[in-house]
Structure 1
Amino acid sequence: MIYEGKAITVKEIEGGIAQLNFDLQGESVNKFNRLTLEELRNATNILTSRTDLKGLVVTSSKDSFIVGADITEFKDLFSGPEDELVANNLGANEIFSAIEDLPFPTVTAINGIALGGGFEMCLATDYRVMAPKAKVGLPETKLGIFPGFGGTVRLSRLVGVDNAVEWICGATENRADVALKVGAVDAIVEPDKLVDAALSIIHQVNNGKLDNLARREEKKGKIKLNVMESMMAFEISKAFVGAKAGKNYPAPVEAIKVMQKHAGMTRDKAIEVEAKGFAKMAKTEVSASLIGLFLNDQELKHKAKRWAKDAADVKLAAVLGAGIMGGGVAYQSALKGTPIIMKDINPEGIALGLKEAKKLLLKRIDKGRMKPDQMADVLNSITPALNYGDFKNVDLVVEAVVENPKVKDAVLREVEGQVREDAILTSNTSTISIDLLAKNLKRPENFCGMHFFNPVHMMPLVEVIRGKKTSDRAIATAVAYATAMGKTPIVVNDCPGFLVNRVLFPYFGGFIGLVRDGADFQKVDKVMEKFGWPMGPAYLLDVVGMDTGKHAGAVMAEGFPDRMKHEGTTAIDVMFDNKRYGQKNEKGFYRYELDRKGKQQKVVDEESYKLLKPVVQGDKEFEDDEIIARMMIPLCLETVRCLEDGIVESPADADMGLIYGIGFPPFRGGALRYIDQIGLDKFVELADKYADLGPLYQPTDKLREMAKNGQTFFA
C-alpha cells in the first residue's frame, strides 16, 4: 500500500502503475470535504516523489465517482474575508495542479456521477474513460457560484469556449455520449472494463502511441482563439446567458467574464483569476440563499426517508374525482410506477381525466422523453371506474372532488366503507380543515390531507396535513407515496389554509390594500416580478381563478378574522362579482387572447380600471420599495406565525414550502431567510412603519424578542 487514509487509498496494481481510489468511510457517496482534500494532498505528495511509477488510474469504490464538494462546509468557508476564501481555493488548486503535473500519465475511470469538484478532479488527469450510464458536469451556478477547482480553466481549453459556457452556465449533468462528442472524455466502456481501459491508455502513452504531455500543455496553455474570435465568443455568450439567467442570478455571466479574463493566460495565472471570481460570487446573498435552499432540500429528503421507515406499502392507489386535478394525480402516480384507479360518478369526468393523462404523455413523446410503448404502459396503469369494484385492494385513496366540505364529507364517508380497515384516506383539499373532514369518519387515525398543487405534473410540492387524530402511520404512508410520485412532501399541522395558502392570502391582502390606496395593479405586478416572483399578484390571481381566490379568501377570513377579514368591497370582489374569473374565462385583471402558438397571452384591459374605480380610495404614486414592503411584510409575518404556531416543524420546511408551492424567488431563499438577510431588527423596524395598516403588518412578540436578542431563523 502506497497510501492509506479514511477517504483515499493508493496502491500499486500492475507493473508500476498505481491506483488512487476514493472511498470516503461512513458516507454513501464520495465528496470533497476537508478530510478528502487533505488526504488527496498527502497522497499526491507521495506520488510526486515516486520515480518508479509508470502511471496512475483514479477510481471510486462508491456507485458514484465524486458528487462534488461537501456543501455543508460552505457556510464556514464562505463566512470569512474574501481574501481568505481566495487563499483557500488556491490551496486546493495546488493539489489538482500537482495531480496534473505528476511525472507519469494519469487516467480517471468515471464509474458514476462526477459533478462539481468531482469532475474537476477528472479534468486534472490526462485522460478520462467513462461508463455509459455515468454523468459529468459542473453545476455550481445552481448554487450561485461557479467552478473553483480549476474547472473554468481546464474545461474551456479542453472542449472549447462554446461547450464550456453551455456546461458551466447551464449547470448541466451530461451523459457519456455527450461528453465523448465534445471531447470531455476519451472513451466510453462498460463499468467492469473501466480500469482495463485506463491501463490500456497508460500503456499506449508509455509505448509512444499517445502523447499525454501534449494533452497537458493544451489544458495548461492559453485558449486557442485570436482576439476577434475570443471577443465574439465571449460577448455573444454573455448577452445570451445574461438574458436567460436574468440579473438576479449573476453567477453564469460572472463565469463567462472570468473565462474571458483568463483566456490569454496560462494555467497558474488563470486559476488565480478563477479563485478571485469564485470568492466574489461566494460572498453574495444570492449564493447564501441558493446554498441554503440546497441544504433545506436535503433536510426535507432526510425527513422523507425517516418517515418511509414507518410507511405502509402503496401497491395500488385510487383517486376520487377525475377531471383536471384527478387526471393529473392519476397521471403522476402511473408515470412513476404506482398503478391507480381513477373513479368518478360520471363517464364525462373519466373521459376528461384520461384526456388530461394522454395529453401529458403525448407531450413527453413529442419532447423525446418517452417512447410510444411506454405511454401505453402508463395508460394501462390507470384503471377508470364508475364504482368501487376493486377498492378492497386499494392501499391509499386521494379524494379530489369539488372543494366543498359537505361534498367531501359525503364522499369520504362513502369510500371509507369500501376500503380495507388499514387503507389510508387522504383529501386533496387546499383550505378545508382536516379535523372537520375527519369528524364523521370511523377511522380518523387513517386520514390526513394530501394537498397537490395545480398543475400536478409540474408543481413539486405536496402538503401532507396532520389532523389531531391522524396517526404517524397515515402521515408516513402519505409522505412515502408523495415521494414515490416524484414530489417533495412537507408535513404540516391542520389550520385554515395549512401553510401555503395561509401565507399566500396575507400577500394578496397586501395587494388589495395597495389597489385600495391608489396603486396601479400593473405596476405592482411589474415591481414584484422584478423582485423575483414568476408573476405579479394580479396575474397570479387571474391564473388561480377569481372564484377560487374568493372562496379561499372567505375560508381564511373566517379562520383569521383579526388580520385576513377585509372591510367593504375589495378588488377581488369586484372581479368576481363581474364574472371576471381570470384565465379560465379569458378576463380578470387582464384580458387573455391566444397567440400564434395557441397559448393564452395577457393583454391590458381598460375595463378593469373602470370596474375598480369604486374601490380605489386614494391616488398615491407608490415607489417600488414601498410596494415591495407592503406586499412582503404580511407574507413574511404570516410565515413567522406558522412557525411559532407549530404549523411547520422548521424554518427549512416553511421556506421550501413557499419556494415549491407558490414560486417564492429561490435566489432570496424563502421568507424566513429573506428576513434573516434584512436583519430581524431592521425587518421589525420596517414593519412598524406600516403598523397602522392593521394586524397583517404587526410583528409578533416572539419576533420582537428574537430581534432584540440578535437571533436569526437559520443559525
Structure 2
Amino acid sequence: MIYQGDSIQVQFVEDGIAELQFNAAGSVNKFDQKTLGEFSDALTALADTKDLKGLIVTSSKSTFIVGADITEFQTLFADLAQTKTWVAKASRVFDQLEDLPVPTVGAVTGFALGGGCEALLACDYRVADTTATIGLPEVKLGLIPGFGGTMRLPRIIGPDNALEWITTGKNNSAASAQRDGLIDAVVAPEKLRDAALSMVRSALNGDLNWQAKRAPKLEPLKANDTELTMTLVTAKAMIAAKAGKHYPAPHAAVKAIENGARSGREEALNAENEAFVGLTQTDACQAQVGIFMADQLVKGKAKKAAKTATKDIKTAAVLGAGIMGGGIAYQSAYKGVPVVMKDINQDALDLGMKEAGKLLEKAVQRGKMDTKKMAKVLSSITPTLLDDAVKGVDIVVEAVVENPDVKGKVLADVESRVSDDAILVSNTSTISIDRLAKNLKDPSRFCGMHFFNPVHKMPLVEVIRGEKTSDETVAAVVAYASRMGKTAIVVNDCPGFLVNRVLFPYLAGFAGLIDEGVDFAGIDKVMERQFGWPMGPAYLTDVVGIDTADHCTKVMADGFPTRMPRDENNAIAKLAAADRYGQKNGKGFYEYGVDKKGRPQKQKDEAVYKMLNITGTEKSAEEIIARCMVPMVNECVRCLEEGIVSSAAEADIAMLYGIGFPPFRGGPFRYLETVGLNKFIEMADRYADLGEIYQVTDGLREMAKSGKSYFAQS
C-alpha cells in the first residue's frame, strides 16, 4: 500500500503500475477540503515512490467524482483572504498529478463534474465508459472552474470547444467528449479498468508518447492571434446575448482564458485563481450557491418522505382531461406510473391523448426515447368515460374545473368508488383544501397537489396539507411527485397556498402602477431587463390567463379582504370584463399572433391603452421594481411567519421553480437579504401609505433590529 486515507487508497496493481482510487465513505466521491488534503498527500507519496512506472486514477463507485463539496462554499467564501488561500492551494494539488514523472490515465465512470472533470484534465490520457457524463457546470453556481479547468481544457480540446463547455456549464456524454478530444477512448463499463491499464502499458512500451501529450498543458495556448481573437469575440457576443449583465461568471470565464492564453501553466492558473476569487464575492454567486443548498434541503426532505411513506403508489387516475389533467396523466405515465385518464367528454379524452402523443413524438425526435418506449408510455395511459375505471388505483388526482362546488361533488363521488386506502388529491391553484375536505368522509387521505403549467416542463409541485391530512398521506404524495420528476414543497393550507398567494400582491403592485397611468410595456421592460424576470407582470398575466388571474383575485380577496381587496376597476378586472384573456384567445395586455415565418409574437394594442387610460406617467426603474417587489417579499415573510412554508430556503425554491424568480437573485428571501433587511424596510416604508401589502411585519423589523438571517433558520 503506497497510501491509505479515508477517501483515497493508492497501491500497486501490477509491476510498476499503481492505482489511485477514490473511495469516499458516502454515496459519492467529492472534493471536500479533507479529500483534497488526502489527494495531495497521496500524490506526494506517489512522487516519492521510486519504482513507480505508471498510474491509473479510478473510482470504486458508480460515479467518478461529482465535484467540489458545495456545502463548504458559504463558509469558505465568507472571508476573502481565506478564499484566496484555499483556491491557490487547492488548484495546485492538481499540478501534483500532472507533474508525476510517469504516464497517467484517468478512468471515468458515471459523473465526472467540476473538480472531477479537472482531475481528469490533469491526467495524460482519459478513458471513459459508456455511462460517463463529463462537464464543468460551475457557471450554474455563479463561478468558473477553480482547479485548473480554464487553463487545461482549452489546451486539450481547443479554445472554441472549451469556451462552449465552460460558459454553458453543459454536461457531455462520453461519445461527445471523445468527439471534442477530451476522452481518448470509450469502452463498455466492464472493460474500463482494463482499458486504462492497457493505455498505461502502451505509454510505457513507447506506443503512446505521453510526454508529448502532456506538454501542451504546460505551455501557452497553441492558437494564432487571429484565430484566438475571433474565438474570444464570438464567445463574448454570445454570452452578452444569452447571459446578459446579470450573470458575471461566463464573462469571467472568457476573461480568465484570454488572460492566461499566452502564458504557461502557472501564470494561466493565477489568472483563473484571480477570476474565481472575484466571483465568490458577487451577489450572483452567493444567490446561486444558496439555490443549490436550498434545492438539496428540499430534495433531502423528499427522500426522507419517500422512505417513511407507507403507501406505495403504483397506479394513478386523473379526473379531467383538460390541459392540466392531460399534462399530469402524461407525466405520470412517462415516469413509469400507469394512469387512468377519466373525463365526461370523449373529445376531451381524444385531445388529451393527442397532446400526450405530440410530447412523446418530440421526445423521440430529440433522442430522449425510442419508439418502443413511446408506445409503452402511450399504452400506460387509459382514457375512459367510465366512472368505475378508477377502482383499484392508489391515487386519484382531481383536475376538473376550478370551482369548489364542482370539485367537491367530484371528490365525494370518487371517494365512494376507490379503496379505503386510496389517496385523493386536488390539483387546485387557489381553493382551500380544508373547504374541499368537508366533502369527504375521510379527509386524512386528502391533500392538495398543485401542478404548474405546462406540467411536463415546470419542476414544482406544491403539496398542500389540510388540517386533517395525515402525515402518511403527505409522505406518499411527496414520494409520488418525486417519482414524477418534480420538486415537491409541502405547504399548509391558506388561500392561494404559497406561490399564488405571494404572486398576487406582486400583480397588485403592478396594477397600482397602471392605475397611475404607467405604460405596462415599460413596466415589463424594467422587470425583465433590469430585475431579471423571464416575463414582466403584464406578459406573465397574459400567459397565466387574465380570466384565471381575475378569478384568483376574488379568492384572494375572500381570504385577505384588507390586504388584497378586489378592485373592479383595476387593469386585470377591466381586461377580463372585455373578454381579453391573454394568450389563450390572442388578446390580453398584448395582442398575439405569428410573424411571417410562423413564429409567435406579441405586440401592443392601442385599444388597451385607451381602455386602461395609460397616460404615459414616468416612473424610475427603481420605483417600478420597489412597487412590484415589496408586496411579494412582504407576503413571503408573512407566509413564513404564519407557518405556511417551513423555511426561507423552501420559499425561494418554490418561487424559482414555480414562476421563474431570477436565479441570480436566488429567490425572494435571498433578494431580501442581498438588499439588506434595514434597507428593504426603508424602501417599503416609502410606500406604506399605498396599502397593507407595502407594510412590513413586526417580525421582519425585529429580524432587522437583531441582525438575524432568515437562512440561519432553514
- Same fold by TM-score greater than 0.5: yes
Show the counterpart of 2:702: 705
Please give the alpha-carbon distance, in whole angstroms, between the structure 1 residues aligned to 2:100 and 2:596.
59
Show the counterpart of 1:254: 252
Show the counterpart of 2:85: 87
1:645 to 638, 642, 645: 642
234-243 or 589-598, larger mean C-alpha shift: 589-598
Show the counterpart of 1:672: 669
Show the counterpart of 2:388: 389
Q: C-alpha offsets along residues 561-594 of structure 1, whole Å, 9 cap, x if unaligned?
A: 1110044511111101111111111111111112
The Cα of 1:370 is off from its aligned counterpart by 2.5
Aligned partner of residue 243 in structure 1, secondary structure? helix
Change (3 A) 1:606 1:332: same
Q: Which runs of 5+ in 2 are unaligned?
A: none
The Cα of 1:372 is off from its aligned counterpart by 2.3
Provide TM-score, normalisation by structure 2.
Answer: 0.98
Are 2:110 and 1:108 equivalent residues in the alignment?
Answer: no
Q: C-alpha offsets along residues 94-119 of structure 1, whole Å, 9 cap, x if unaligned?
A: 21101101011111111221000011
The Cα of 1:597 is off from its aligned counterpart by 4.6
Paired residues for 1:330-409 under 5 Å:
330-409=329-408
Show the counterpart of 1:210: 208
Q: C-alpha offsets along residues 156-209 of structure 1, whole Å, 9 cap, x if unaligned?
A: 000001110111111111111111111101111222222221221211111112
Please give the alpha-carbon distance, in whole angstroms, between the structure 2 residues aligned to 1:677 and 1:289.
9
Q: C-alpha offsets along residues 428-457 of structure 1, whole Å, 9 cap, x if unaligned?
A: 000000000000201100000000111111
Show the counterpart of 1:237: 235
The Cα of 1:238 is off from its aligned counterpart by 1.1
Show the counterpart of 1:5: 5
Show the counterpart of 1:685: 682
Q: Is the 8 A contact 1:324 1:352 kept in 2?
A: no
Q: Is the 8 A contact 2:136 2:145 kept in 1?
A: yes
Cα RMSD after superposing both structures: 1.2
Show the counterpart of 1:315: 314
Aligned partner of residue 68 in structure 1, secondary structure? coil
Show the counterpart of 2:594: 594
Aligned partner of residue 10 in structure 1, secondary structure? strand
Aligned partner of residue 156 in structure 1, secondary structure? helix
Paired residues for 1:39-78 under 5 Å:
39-78=38-77
Aligned partner of residue 391 in structure 2, secondary structure? helix
Show the counterpart of 2:28: 29
2:631 to 631, 634, 638: 634
Show the counterpart of 2:153: 155
Are 2:16 and 1:16 equivalent residues in the alignment?
Answer: yes
1:98 to 96, 99, 115: 96
Q: C-alpha offsets along residues 470-529 of structure 1, whole Å, 9 cap, x if unaligned?
A: 011111111111111111110000000000000000001101111112211111010000
Q: Is the 8 A contact 1:242 1:252 kept in 2?
A: no
Please give the alpha-carbon distance, in whole angstroms, between the structure 2 residues aligned to 1:64 and 1:179.
17
Please give the alpha-carbon distance, in whole angstroms, between the structure 1 residues aligned to 2:290 and 2:395.
34
Please give the alpha-carbon distance, in whole angstroms, between the structure 1 residues aligned to 2:5 and 2:370.
47
Please give the alpha-carbon distance, in whole angstroms, between the structure 2 residues aligned to 1:516 and 1:262.
54
Provide TM-score, normalisation by structure 1.
Answer: 0.98
Aligned partner of residue 77 in structure 2, secondary structure? helix
Q: Is the 8 A contact 2:203 2:209 kept in 1?
A: yes
Alignment size in residue pairs: 710
Please give the alpha-carbon distance, in whole angstroms, between the structure 1 residues aligned to 2:211 and 2:616.
73
Counterpart AA for 2:176: V
Please give the alpha-carbon distance, in whole angstroms, between the structure 2 residues aligned to 1:567 and 1:487.
35
Show the counterpart of 1:301: 299
Q: C-alpha offsets along residues 306-348 of structure 1, whole Å, 9 cap, x if unaligned?
A: 1112321111100001121111111111111110000001111
Please give the alpha-carbon distance, in whole angstroms, between the structure 2 residues aligned to 1:241 and 1:624.
24
Please give the alpha-carbon distance, in whole angstroms, between the structure 2 residues aligned to 1:600 and 1:630.
30
Aligned partner of residue 318 in structure 1, secondary structure? strand
Q: Which runs of 5+ in 1 are unaligned?
A: none
Counterpart AA for 1:273: A
Please give the alpha-carbon distance, in whole angstroms, between the structure 2 residues aligned to 1:269 and 1:84.
21
Aligned partner of residue 79 in structure 1, secondary structure? coil
The Cα of 1:216 is off from its aligned counterpart by 1.1
Change (3 A) 1:393 1:566: closer
Q: C-alpha offsets along residues 251-301 of structure 1, whole Å, 9 cap, x if unaligned?
A: 112101111111111111100000001111111100100110011111111
Please give the alpha-carbon distance, in whole angstroms, between the structure 1 residues aligned to 2:599 and 2:236.
30
Please give the alpha-carbon distance, in whole angstroms, between the structure 2 residues aligned to 1:359 and 1:235.
39
Q: Is the 8 A contact 1:681 1:710 kept in 2?
A: no
Please give the alpha-carbon distance, in whole angstroms, between the structure 1 residues aligned to 2:374 and 2:438.
41
Show the counterpart of 2:412: 413
2:693 to 687, 691, 696: 696
Please give the alpha-carbon distance, in whole angstroms, between the structure 1 residues aligned to 2:431 and 2:387.
25
Change (3 A) 1:597 1:408: farther
Q: C-alpha offsets along residues 201-251 of structure 1, whole Å, 9 cap, x if unaligned?
A: 211111112111111111111111111111111111111122111211121
Please give the alpha-carbon distance, in whole angstroms, between the structure 2 residues aligned to 1:4 and 1:366.
49
Q: C-alpha offsets along residues 514-572 of structure 1, whole Å, 9 cap, x if unaligned?
A: 11122111110100001110111111111111110110010001100111004451111
Change (3 A) 1:442 1:345: same
Please give the alpha-carbon distance, in whole angstroms, between the structure 2 residues aligned to 1:351 and 1:99.
61
Paired residues for 1:508-657 under 5 Å:
508-530=507-529, 531-567=531-567, 569-613=569-613, 620-657=617-654
Please give the alpha-carbon distance, in whole angstroms, between the structure 2 residues aligned to 1:713 and 1:74.
18
Q: Is the 8 A contact 1:680 1:711 kept in 2?
A: no
Aligned partner of residue 126 in structure 2, secondary structure? strand
Q: Is the 8 A contact 1:150 1:274 kept in 2?
A: yes
Show the counterpart of 1:446: 445
Aligned partner of residue 308 in structure 2, secondary structure? coil
240-249 or 685-694, larger mean C-alpha shift: 240-249
